A = this chain, B = another copy of it.
Amino acid sequence: MAVGSGGTSSRSFVSEIIFSRLGNEHLLKASDAAIVSTSGRTAFTTDSYVVRPEFFPGGNIGKIAVCGTINDLLVSGAKPLYLSFGLIMPEGYPVADLERVIDSMAEECRKADVKIVCGDTKVVDKGGCDGLIINTSGIGESLRDYTEPYNIQEGDAVILTSDVARHGMSVMLARGELGFDGEVLSDCACLKDVFSAVENLNVKFARDATRGGVAAVLNEIASDSGKGFLMRETDIPMDENVGYLCDMLGFDPLAVANEGLAVIIVSEEDAEKALSNICACENGQRAAIAGRVEGKNVILETSIGGKRHIEMPAGELLPRIC
């Protein structure tokens, strides 16, 4: 059951596991580079994934690697087209686990109509790494530009496309270090449907709220644009159990990582239309208009009517969350 003991046989075994699941005319050619068609403006992104455990309720490292990179293209305003993947694994890694991971990658690519066109596999000694590490880079056709913070203006609406904090809490519980049972489903998902739903509306800016959560995204935008936000606690979508869990553990749910939640800033006029379009999507059912662009600071109006700053998360709350 060991992949990567070295030698031609194990290397071709890895190729078989991958090619049979992800194969397409580009990948199967196994050239040094894939040659693909693109138009004049291309979005290009990369992320490495080191999440532990590799499998958690609602996803695994392969699903996250594909969805995360596709989402990075979507939030930039691009149509995702092609992915690369770089797989690193320790010798002796269980084949069945590798197959599950690659199956998830293939499924998400199929759903998003994206192709993995080039890849690379490295097998290292057991001490080299403690499990799978996956890099996915992606290119897409840049159709709109959602990356320019100067486009936002006072009064624009802030839409959260899903309920907050599920991915971070899911992984934390899956680590089994808290001394109690239970599970939270990660929100890990590709947001292609959500971004299709707003493509004809006046979207000013978008970013997915991964490490550092919604708090980090809002503070980054504020820092880059010079504009602030007023968020309303009662309008922030959150699963009740996730809320209890954050309370109990002392986490600010706004600072916890998501893997299927984008912050989309839309003009005031288009806000309601955007929300209803997003809510009609499989991955946007719990979306909400949770605040607006206002002032210079990032402020939360609490459920009891007080106001507090939403701070930039100071440290990595949960290492290896993605």
Residue positions of A touching B, CB distance < 8 A: 6-8, 11, 29, 31-48, 50, 71-73, 75-76, 78, 82, 84-88, 117-120, 122-125, 127-130, 133, 135, 137-140, 142, 145, 147, 207-208, 312-316, 319-320
Identity of the chain B residue whose Cβ is nearest the Cβ of A84 in the assembled complex: B46
Residue of A33, A88, A145, A320 ringed by the most chain B CB atoms within 10 A: A33
Decide: A32 near B84, CB < 8 A? Known: A7-B316, A8-B315, A42-B37.
Answer: no
Let me know if A33 and B86 touch, CB within 8 A: no
Contacting residue for A147 out of B31, B145, B314, B320, CB 8 A? B31
Contacting residue for A315 out of B7, B73, B78, B128, CB 8 A? B7
Let me know if B35 and A38 touch, CB within 8 A: no
A/B interface sample: 23 pairs, CB < 8 A = A7-B315, A8-B312, A8-B314, A8-B315, A29-B147, A31-B147, A33-B76, A33-B78, A34-B43, A34-B44, A35-B142, A35-B147, A37-B40, A37-B42, A39-B40, A42-B42, A47-B120, A48-B87, A48-B88, A122-B320, A123-B319, A125-B320, A135-B135
Complex Cα distance A7/B147, Å?
Answer: 25
Q: Which residues of B have CB within 8 Å of A120?
A: 46-48
Give the number of copies in the complex. 2
Contacting residue for A32 out of B128, B139, B147, CB 8 A? B147
List the 9 shortest-distance A-B pairs measured between CB atoms, nearest first: A46-B84, A137-B137, A7-B315, A33-B76, A33-B45, A135-B135, A48-B86, A33-B43, A31-B147
Chain A's interface: helix, strand, loop or mixed, by majority? strand
Let me know if B32 and A41 touch, CB within 8 A: no
Contacting residue for A130 out of B128, B207, B314, CB 8 A? B128
Give A143 Cβ to nearest chain B Cβ, in Å: 10
Contacting residue for A86 out of B46, B75, B140, CB 8 A? B46
Let me know if B44 and A147 touch, CB within 8 A: no
